[in-house]
Amino acid sequence: MALNTLVVDDSSVMRSIIIKTLKLAGLSLGAVLEAGNGQEGLKLLEDNWVDLALVDIHMPVMDGEEMINRLRQNKEYHDLPVIIVSSESDSARIEMLQKTGATFMHKPFTPETLREAIIEVTGVSHEE
Amino acid sequence: MIHTVGVADMTVSRQSSDILITHALGSCLGITVYDFKQNIGGLLHPMLPDSNFDQAKAQANPFMFVDSGLRLLLEKFYQAGSEKRNLIIRAAGGSSSKTDEEDDFFQIGRRNFISLRKFLWDEGLMLKSYDIGGYGSRTVTLEIDGGRMTIKYNGDVKYI
Amino acid sequence: MKNRVEQALKAAGLKTFEETCYLYPVPELKEIQEMLPLEAAAEVKYRGDFTGRILIETRGGLFRAIAVNMLSSQDPTGEQKIDALGEMANIICGNVIPALGGVSQGYRIEAPKNIPLSEAQNNLLGEPLVWTVLNLNQGRADLKFYVDGYYPAPEKKT
């Protein structure tokens, strides 16, 4: 199954790193959509189906926390697998976000640790 | 047949009965590449992180450095028809010369591992697994039949 | 607090440079990198129980090297270089904030901002609480962490 993926981060360079890691992780990737903040991310989801979202927290316009909360209230996307990729270090906030069912990946990260998180969340592993 | 890979050296084999081994990995790295489709394996034992620091030495022996050594090792695989997606890359070593890494001024082991990760990122490859750091010496073997990598470290044996 | 922030800033700086752009410390380059001119600077502001900012300055080719290494591209655009430096500031800031303590209301981190060289060169941002210099293999990074209304005590002369 080809995974359609949404990457939401206000840094275009960080989005490139995440997308390259997705490609190197050995998964069968479908469309990869990019958004610079939560609002743009939600807009993309109105017209596109995705199987996985990687979302930053600290972003202008709409942060990742609000985006994820809105996703969870949406009938179509309430159980979308989400990986939060953020430098957020407040354990109470991280715990609250994890309660929404999201997996937390702390920045900085290595491509290998992000790959592990992607495989764990999607249940899809490298075809060896 | 057992092939011993010396310091600043490399060996590639496709003989299923072969085992590649390198000893006394301190701050050096033991980097293995294995093509699981073709059953080809290679082992590199570089000492230093970056060939740009001493290009004369890198010309004389590219296997001394992580970047120039791994470039040549991978070329062997590409020449044999290997595809990147079929390569399993693993590493061990990179120890500190001091029990407390903070006391290790040059941190060559750490630099070697960072240099390896940079090379792989630029090359569009990822590490499958690694056993890096700590204090002490490791011995690494790679079995061509099946590609198992074994690490002996401080009396323990592990497979990665 | 100063000691905690100092340790956290150094640790977060080294880890972020290592894991995000594959750069490592080379303390033996300290003297060579001492007099290098400033290339670029970026800041990230934080708000919470404390407010302040982190400023990151680059010297000796580091500005370009950060984007080159993150993107694996020898030819990053000016915009990408600024974006990459800002992202470094963002990550380091997020990792240092817990050392401030007092997380009763949590912290918000603002989007990174490029700082004009004239502003950074003339030190218009005032005295940081902590200033850490990282001598890296592809240039020098100065990390300056500010806490509003919290000034370091002058050094005692013995």
* ipTM entry: 0.91
pLDDT digits (tens, 9 = 90+) for C78-124: 999 999 999 999 999 999 998 888 656 678 899 999 999 888 877 66
C-beta separation of C16 from A104 below 8 A? no
**Out of B36, B117, B126, whose CB is closest to A115?**
B126
Which range among A3-7, A29-33, B94-98, C131-135 shows the weakest confidence by mean pLDDT? B94-98
Q: Which residues of B touch A24 (CB under 8 A)?
A: 124-126
Overall average pLDDT of the A94-113 stretch? 93
| B119's tokens | 């090379």
Overall average pLDDT of the B86-113 stretch? 86
Overall average pLDDT of the A83-102 stretch? 91
Overall average pLDDT of the C115-141 stretch? 89
Is B120 within 8 Å of chain C by CB? no
Between β-strands A29-35 and A3-8, what pairing exists: parallel, antiparallel or unpaired? parallel
Quote the mean pLDDT of chain C. 90
Which carries the bigger pLDDT value, residue C149 or residue A94? A94
Q: Is C102 exposed, middle or buried (0-12, 13-18, 19+ CB in 10 A)?
A: exposed
- Looking at residue C151, what is its pLDDT? 61
- Looking at residue C154, what is its pLDDT? 57
Q: Most A CBs within 10 Å: which of B39, B116, B120, B126, as the mutation test of the A interface?
A: B126
C-beta separation of B44 from B10 below 8 A? yes
Which range among A25-29, A54-58, B99-103 shows the weakest confidence by mean pLDDT? B99-103
Question: Which stretches does DSSP call E strand in chain A?
Answer: 3-8, 29-35, 52-55, 82-86, 103-106
Cβ distance of C106 and A93 shorter than 8 Å: yes
Q: Looking at the predicted structure, is the pLDDT value of residue C157 above 70? A: no
Overall average pLDDT of the C27-54 stretch? 93
Q: How confident is the model at residue C147 (pLDDT cuts 50, 70, 90)?
A: very high
Overall average pLDDT of the C52-79 stretch? 97
Task: Determine the Cα–Cα distance for residues A26 and A109; give it in Å rounded to an integer.
Answer: 18
Task: Determine the Cα–Cα distance for residues B138 and B31; give it in Å rounded to an integer.
Answer: 12
Chain B: touching chains (3 or more CB pairs < 8 Å): A, C
Does the bond joining A108 to the residue before it have cis omega, within 30 degrees of 0?
A: yes
Q: Which residue of C has its CA nearest to B109?
A: C24
Distance from CA of A78 to the nearest CA of C (A): 25
Q: Looking at the predicted structure, is the pLDDT value of residue C150 above 80? A: no
Is B50 within 8 Å of chain C by CB? yes
Residues 72-111 of chain A whose Cβ lies under 8 A from any Cβ of chain C: 86-90, 92-93, 107-110
Q: Looking at the predicted structure, is the pLDDT value of residue A28 above 90? A: no
Q: Percentage of residues in chain C with pLDDT exceeding 70?
A: 90
Distance from CA of C51 to the nearest CA of B (A): 32
Question: Cβ of C64: how many Cβ atoms within 10 Å?
Answer: 21
Q: Looking at the predicted structure, is the pLDDT value of residue A128 above 50? A: no
Q: Looking at the predicted structure, is the pLDDT value of residue C41 above 60? A: yes
Three-state DSSP state, C100? helix
Q: Which residues of A touch B125 (CB under 8 A)?
A: 24
Q: Looking at the predicted structure, is the pLDDT value of residue B37 above 80? A: yes
Distance from CA of B76 to the nearest CA of C (A): 23
Tokens 């918000």 correspond to C108
Which range among B10-14, B19-23, C120-124 shows the weakest confidence by mean pLDDT? C120-124
- Looking at residue C40, what is its pLDDT? 97
Overall average pLDDT of the B67-96 stretch? 97
Q: How confident is the model at residue B97 (pLDDT cuts 50, 70, 90)?
A: confident
Q: Which residues of B touch C18 (CB under 8 A)?
A: 114
Q: What is the signed CA dihedral for C105, A84, C63, C72, rounded to 10 degrees?
A: 170
Dihedral of alpha carbons C153, C110, C114, A7, sign: positive
- Looking at residue C149, what is its pLDDT? 79
- Looking at residue B45, what is its pLDDT? 98
Q: Which residues of A touch B127 (CB under 8 A)?
A: 112
Q: How confident is the model at residue C74 (pLDDT cuts 50, 70, 90)?
A: very high
Topology of the domain covering A1-27+71-122: Rossmann fold (3.40.50)
- Looking at residue C156, what is its pLDDT? 57
B135 CB contacts (<8 Å, ≥6 apart)? Answer: B95, B96, B98, B99
Q: Which residues of B touch C23 (CB under 8 A)?
A: 114
Q: Which residues of B touch A111 (CB under 8 A)?
A: 121, 126
Is A112 within 8 Å of chain B by CB? yes
Superfamily for the C2-28+38-147 domain: CheC-like (3.40.1550.10)
- Looking at residue C121, what is its pLDDT? 79
Q: Looking at the predicted structure, is the pLDDT value of residue A126 above 90? A: no
* Domain B2-159, CATH: 3.30.1330.200
- Looking at residue C16, what is its pLDDT? 98
Is C155 within 8 Å of chain B by CB? no
**Out of B50, B105, B122, whose CB is closest to C27?**
B105
- Looking at residue C49, what is its pLDDT? 87
Q: Which of B38, B36, B62 is nearest to B50 (CA)?
A: B62
Q: Which residue of A has its CA nearest to B35?
A: A128
C-beta separation of B88 from B36 below 8 A? yes
Cβ distance of A89 and C97 shorter than 8 Å: yes
Chain A: touching chains (3 or more CB pairs < 8 Å): B, C
Task: Determine the Cα–Cα distance for residues A7 and B137; give it in Å rounded to an integer.
Answer: 42
